[in-house]
Amino acid sequence: VTVDIRDARPDDAAELAELLGQLGYPAEADAVGRRLERLGASDVDRLLVAEAGGRIVGLVGVHVSHSLEYDRDAAKLSALVVDEGRRGTGVGRALVAAAEAEARARDCELLFLTTAERRTGAHTFYRALGFEETGRRFAKVLD
């Protein structure tokens, strides 16, 4: 089955909600639809999906920001997830390649991401794709 990478659309909300659940961020389709609307209105965000056989089998977000540390912009990957039944078949690699192409097209000088310590499989994946581990993430939930 061929895998197509395309921009997410509002009617993808239910399938993206399922994938976000697999990533550990469960959400209702309606809520995901509202997030898609906000991201769709942003000039500095792009949400890409992988489609195979009429189903969405993966997702990645790219966010571009200005930087004080670098002359050019930096791109951050987010929400990378491949459907459980399709992992290990190259979908993640294809999604990250598309995100990297987007970052290059926007003249970014850095592509980076944060990942939880527990996601050891993802760490191996990122290394296989040429990413270097360069830091730690600290987070504070604001309520």
Ligand X SMILES: CC(C)(COP(=O)(O)OP(=O)(O)OC[C@H]1O[C@@H](n2cnc3c(N)ncnc32)[C@H](O)[C@@H]1OP(=O)(O)O)[C@@H](O)C(=O)NCCC(=O)NCCS
Binding site residues, ligand X, CB under 6 A:
23, 80-82, 87-93, 115, 119, 121-122, 124-125, 128
Q: How near is the Cβ of 20 to ligand X at its closest, in Å?
A: 10
Residue 58: what are its φ and ψ, rounded to 5°? -175, 165
Q: How near is the Cβ of 7 to ligand X at its closest, in Å?
A: 19
β-strand partners of 78: 61
Cβ-based nearer residue to ligand X, 10 or 21:
21
Q: Which residue is nearest to ligand X (CB)?
A: 92
Residue 98: what are its φ and ψ, rounded to 5°? -70, -40
Cβ-based nearer residue to ligand X, 67 or 120:
120
92 burial class (0-12, 13-18, 19+ CB within 10 angstroms)?
buried
